[in-house]
């Protein structure tokens, strides 16, 4: 198994990681539901966002690490960055980026975005953030994601770490718990599932401190 920093050639797989991790194992893709755009349209927008090379938020190639299969393909990936190093939260950066790229759709999405933000948990400044963790289904059960998380934790060993995940994604929650992450906050809103905005109603913040 080779773990390495992502390269431009991995971008299609990275986009798969973003889309599939946002679905959290379900069928609902929140960005399609909120903005009324297709997954294909979202993929094109994400490519445009990666072209901007905006650091300190998950959609930046410099923050991505992948596991490479024996065939040389990226088969597991995650985004890792330290929150708020420049004094601005990654959620704020992401909102500005999305608003810029989806100006026309943003206004119509405002009510849905407010519901989505009701379970938003502020990320902790100076914590390593792990986001969009995803392994291709054909390569699951091989310990790739566990190895990738340990790789990121070692790379950023001076920082405590945080992961946010939907509670309904039991396999992911279980893996993070096995690695030593503990639930630090839980936010729920019954409207999320009812309005088909997320695959589950509750979001968890998990943290792993040193030691």
- Closest CB to another protein among residues 122, 143: 122
Q: Decide: is 85 part of the binding site for another protein (CB under 8 A).
A: no
Which of 3, 61, 82, 88 binds another protein (CB under 8 A)? It is 88
Q: Tell me which H or E stretch contains 119.
A: none
120 scored as a contact of another protein (CB under 8 A): yes
Who contacts 19 (Cβ-Cβ below 8 Å, separation ≥6)? Answer: 29, 39, 42, 43
Interface segment toward another protein; rule CB under 8 A; list 34-42, 107-115, 132-140, 147-155? 107-115
- How many residues at the interface with another protein, by CB under 8 A? 21
Q: Is 87 exposed, middle or buried (0-12, 13-18, 19+ CB in 10 A)?
A: exposed
Query: Would you report the helix, strand and coil content of the chain in percent, each value rounded to 5?
Result: 45, 20, 35
Among 5, 44, 117, 174, binds another protein (CB under 8 A): 117
Alpha-carbon distance of 165 to 186, in angstroms, equals 10
- By CB under 8 A, is residue 91 in contact with another protein? yes
Residue choice 39, 52, 108, 126 for contact with another protein (CB under 8 A) = 52
For another protein, which is the closer residue by CB, 112 or 208? 112
163 within 8 A of 21, measured Cβ to Cβ: no
In sequence order, the 6+-apart residues with CB closer than 8 A to the CB of 152 are 65, 78, 80, 128, 130, 161
Site membership for another protein, residue 99 (CB under 8 A) = yes
Q: Where are the alpha helices (DSSP H) in the chain?
A: 11-23, 30-35, 39-51, 90-101, 103-117, 144-155, 170-179, 191-194
104 binds another protein (CB under 8 A): no
Tell me which of 70, 71, 104, 110 binds another protein, using CB under 8 A: 110
**Least Å from the CB of residue 138 to another protein:** 36
The one among 3, 28, 82, 95 contacting another protein by CB under 8 A: 95
Of 19, 195, 182, nearest in space to 118 by CA: 195
Footprint on this chain of another protein (rule: CB under 8 A): 52, 54, 86-89, 91-97, 99-100, 106, 110, 113-114, 117, 120
């Amino acid at each position: 198994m080779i773990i390495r920093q992502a390269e431009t050639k991995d971008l299609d797989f990275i986009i798969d990681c973003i889309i599939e991790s946002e679905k959290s194992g379900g069928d609902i893709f929140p960005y399609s539901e909120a903005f009324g755009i297709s997954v294909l349209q979202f993929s094109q927008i994400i490519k445009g966002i990666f072209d901007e090379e905006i650091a300190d938020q998950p959609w930046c190639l410099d923050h991505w690490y992948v596991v490479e299969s024996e065939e040389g393909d990226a088969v597991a990936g995650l985004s890792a960055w330290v929150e708020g190093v420049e004094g601005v939260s990654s959620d704020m950066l992401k909102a500005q980026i999305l608003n810029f790229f989806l100006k026309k759709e943003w206004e119509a999405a405002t009510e849905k975005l407010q519901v989505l933000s009701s379970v938003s948990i502020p990320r902790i400044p100076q914590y390593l953030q792990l986001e969009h963790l995803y392994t291709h289904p054909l390569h699951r059960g091989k310990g790739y994601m566990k190895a990738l998380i340990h790789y990121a934790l070692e790379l950023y060993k001076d920082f405590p770490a945080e992961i946010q995940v939907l509670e309904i994604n039991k396999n992911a929650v279980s893996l993070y718990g096995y690695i030593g992450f503990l639930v630090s906050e839980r936010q729920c809103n019954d409207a999320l599932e009812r309005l088909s905005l997320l695959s589950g109603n509750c979001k968890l913040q998990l943290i792993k401190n040193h030691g």
